Structure 1
Amino acid sequence: MNKDYTKKFQHEIIKIHILITASCFVFILCLYFYMDYFYNGAFINFLQEFFGWDFAHFALRNQRTIIFMIIMMVILLNSIIVEIYAIQKISRVFSQIQILFQKDDQRIVLDESLYELENDLNALKRESIENEKKAIDEVQHKVDMIAYLAHDIKTPLASVIGYLCLLDETPHLPEDLRHQYTHITLEKAYRLERLINEFFDIAKLNQTYSPLHLENIHLLYLLEQMKEEFYPLTSQKDQKIDIQVPENLIVCVDAQKMARVFNNILKNAFHYSYEHTIIHIQAYQDESYTHVVFENQGDTIPPDKIQNIFKQFYRLDESRNSSTGGSGLGLSIAKTIVEQHHGFIKVKSENQKTSFDVMLPRHEL
């Protein structure tokens, strides 16, 4: 926070100083103009009555010294009064700051001169409570997801074992049945693989926050490597990946983590693209960022869903039994990694085209 919270408070202290100083000045003027009456008359009589003639005679002989001491005492009193006032204000701030750590709806209340600080502290408290609730919800959601996955794994695993037992125990099984059982077993094995991959996504969530190991890499080579890895998947839906990236384009990133970003975005594009379509990957640079844009053709994502697309465990298809999507962590992990690189990731979906723009700061080692 770069705000000057004490500006109004300082002005208030200065006003008090000026007020007390003005009062002291008036007092000294009165003392000066009415010297004979106040000092030589009433003041000396007062000293004589309470402290004796000797002390009164001393004060009468050392008039300038006594007046100087009175002025210094007034100045000292001025400082003491202002300091006490400031200390009381500051003590109230410290006492109210304790409320910042209380997990309730009690507001922090400070003096009017510290109004901006009061507002920001209350906003910080609200944000802290919301983040804590969000963290608890995420942990609970993670536990629920693991429980769901553990339960769901049992079904395809039981089917795989059952059909394999049939194939093993029935050597003279008709060819059409053997082919049917093999196909079912393969489908169940694919389902089992997807569920296990979701477990890995949840495990990777904790690894996302590890330190970066930056290096200069050729973006085109990294994307070409990923294109080859995705060939078995894209061939299932007769999809293709088209890469339009300059060969000499260098990015300074953690190669393994950035590969995970591109992998998660490509998985999302594969699952939600139409059959017989092309997934386009383009890259270009502006003054500050390198843009890597992934575009696929599929159903337009509604605005209410696109706002939540980077949230943990959020899935466009909310059915856990759907063959599309995974644990709902892929895009959340991608966003976290990109932000670790001090970059941004944006999504746009319209006219049956969805694009993800990964923006990475331009710099090299």
Structure 2
Amino acid sequence: MQTFAIVILTFLIISTLYRRFWFRRVGDWIVQFLQDAFELELLDALNIYQYGLRENSWLFIFGAVTVCFLVLFRISLSWFVRYFNEIDAALDKLIQGDNKEINLTPEMAPMERKLNALRQTLEKRELESRLSEERKNNLVMYLAHDIRTPLTSVIGYLSLLEEAPDMPMEQKAKYVHITLEKANRLEQLINEFFEITRYNIQEIVLEKEEIDLYYMLLQMLEEFYPLLEEKGNRAVLHSDENVSIYGDPVKLARVFNNILKNAVAYSYRNTQIDIFVEEIYTEAAGVKAAKDFSVNHTELGDTGENEKRQPKTIIITFQNQGKTIPREKLESLFDKFYRMDEARNSNTGGAGLGLAIAKEIVTRHGGIIFAESEKEQIIFRVELPVEG
């Protein structure tokens, strides 16, 4: 708009000057100048003016228009410079970390909204980074403190064994067993230190293949049997035996392992942990239907309708009975270095990376993971595309 106004203004100025001064004052002045400078007769001066200057007046007009336009354009640049100065000042505030709201002139309202959105995004990322670093530092402090306890016990019991070589075999076996338990706990804590470092520098790379999901979950339950037996818990898998998925078997096994580990850690004693596997089907007409293998899946297989449908999504649900997790803590479960307060004083408290890594793995598979908790029920749900 300003450029258009400059063009119109230039045209008006030049046309006004041309009409008022070129034919009269400027023409008379040129003719008089030719008479005085070259001692010409009036008729000769008029001929020179007429054929030499007036017929080529468009060159002079063009030059005048160009000069006038450049002058006016230079003046208009000051308006644009003012806008750039405002943006430059706003960017300086962002660089300096100024949290005050950015205010620009009304003409710059769209840019003002974008800069304020950028400011809020930077503030949010800075806050998340600071909280993550604070959690990490606190976790390192807790782990360092926790390491001292088993290490002191290991040194103490080994010293007793060394000082009393004639100790009764029964008592010696007891001390060796305790020492081994403390050493295993110490190894677990040291591995958690390495886990923190690996999480910061390692990029998760997927190596996908066809996975027998039923067999993977069943094998995982067998591996957890001693831990479940220790608390009097039992885990039950509700799934069809012919469930497969395309993904990274090692990474997905880690996801389910981390979720089940949390389920065992926070379950009430002598309770059941249920694992449900569902397949979401897509009809030919585009209508989706869910097939729940937790109940009577053999009857569904007899209808023959499944041959016309292909599963698109698999939902794996882990459900256990435990203390209800508050909503504000539920939202932080998948943040790295986050641990429930109860975990800090338990022997099973980890580095707070298990669920964060699980979320990243699931996300890289194109799926989602979330948790729910109410009425002393804790549910973790993983949704994964069948074909990855």
TM-score of the pair, normalised by structure 1: 0.76
Which residue does 2:253 correspond to in 1? 259
- 1:16 lines up with 2:10 in the alignment: no
Larger Cα-atom Rg: 2
Q: What residue is the counterpart of 2:364 in the other structure?
A: 340
Structure 1 position 354, deviation (Å): 0.9
Pairwise mapping of residues 171-186 of structure 1 onto structure 2 (< 5 A)? 171=166, 173=168, 181=175, 184-185=178-179
Structure 1 counterpart of 2:214: 220
Residue in 2 that maps onto 1:6: none
Contact 1:17 1:78 in 2 (8 A): no
Q: Is 1:307 the equivalent of 2:290?
A: no
Task: Quote the offset at 1:263 in angstroms.
Answer: 1.4
Give the C-alpha shift of residue 308 in structure 1: 1.9
Any conservation in 2 of the 1:101–1:125 contact (CA below 8 Å)? no
CA distance in 1, matches of 2:187, 2:358: 21
**1:275 paired residue among 269, 274, 277:** 269
Q: Which amino acid aligns with 2:260?
A: L
Q: Secondary structure at the match of 1:222?
A: helix
Q: How much does 1:100 deviate? A: 3.2
The alignment partner of 1:356 has SS state of strand
Deviating more after overlay: 248-257 vs 52-61: 52-61
Aligned 1:10-89 pairs, distance under 5 A = 15-24=1-10, 26-27=12-13, 30=16, 35=19, 37-45=20-28, 58-63=52-57, 66-67=60-61, 70-71=64-65, 85-86=79-80, 89=83
Q: Secondary structure at the match of 2:344?
A: coil
Other structure's SS at 2:270 match: coil
The 5 A counterparts of 1:152-301 are 152-163=146-157, 166=160, 169=164, 171=166, 173=168, 181=175, 184-185=178-179, 188-189=182-183, 191-192=185-186, 194-206=188-200, 208-286=202-280, 289-301=313-325
The aligned residue for residue 132 of structure 2 is 138
Please state if 1:331 is matched with 2:351: no
AA aligned to 2:244 is: I
Kept in 1: contact 2:135–2:338 (CA 8 A): no
Counterpart Cα distance in 1 of 2:215 and 2:76: 69
Spell out, residue by residue over 1:108-164, the C-alpha distance to the aligned partner (whole angstroms, 9 max, x if none). 555433333333334434533553454355345434433432332232233234335
In the aligned structure 1, how far is the partner of 2:278 from the partner of 2:149? 46
Report deviation, 1:268: 0.4
Offset, 1:185: 4.7
Question: Deviation at 1:262?
Answer: 1.4
Report the Cα distance in structure 1 between the residues aligned to 2:258 and 2:35, rounded to whole angstroms.
96
CA distance in 1, matches of 2:114, 2:184: 52
Q: What SS does the corresponding residue of 2:341 show, helix, strand or coil?
A: coil
SS in 1 for 2:237: strand
Query: Letter of the aligned partner of 1:340 in structure 2?
Result: R
Shift of 1:351: 1.6
Looking at structure 2, the residues matched to 226 and 218 of structure 1 have their Cα atoms a distance apart, in angstroms, of: 12
Question: What is the match of residue 307 of structure 2?
Answer: none
Shift of 1:259: 1.9
Could you say which residue in structure 1 is the equivalent of 2:97?
A: 103
Task: Give the Cα separation in 1 of the matches to 2:227 and 2:6.
Answer: 82
C-alpha separation between the residues in 2 aligned to 1:100 and 1:113? 21
- Verify: 1:350 aligned to 2:377, yes or no: no
Deviation at 1:243, TM superposition (A): 2.1
Q: Deviations over 1:65-123 (max 9, x none)?
A: 54455456556666666566546644654565344332344665554333333333344
Decide whether aligned partners of structure 1 residues 98 and 45 sit closer, same or farther in structure 2, where only a CA change above 3 A counts.
farther
**Residue type at the aligned position of 2:359:** K
How many angstroms apart in 1 are the aligned matches of 2:81 and 2:35?
Answer: 40
| Aligned residues between the structures | 346
Task: State how far apart, in whole Å, the 2-side matches of 1:130 and 1:319 are.
Answer: 27
Deviation at 1:332, TM superposition (A): 1.9
Q: State the distance in 2 between where 1:203 and 1:64 align.
A: 77
- CA distance in 1 between counterparts of 2:191 and 2:258 reads 12
Distance 1:144 1:300, change over 3 A: closer
Q: Structure 2 counterpart of 1:336, which letter?
A: E
Judging changes above 3 Å, is the alpha-carbon distance between structure 1 residues 314 and 63 closer, same or farther for their aligned structure 2 residues? closer
Letter in 2 for 1:149: L
Give the Å deviation of 1:229: 1.8
Q: Report if aligned partners of 2:370, 2:380 keep a CA contact under 8 Å in 1.
A: yes
Partners of 2:34 and 2:6 in 1: CA distance: 30
Q: Deviations over 1:296-325 (max 9, x none)?
A: 111111122212222233222346322343
Q: Which moved more, 1:342-351 or 1:92-101?
A: 92-101
Cα offset, 1:355, TM superposition: 0.9
Secondary structure in 1 matching 2:345: coil
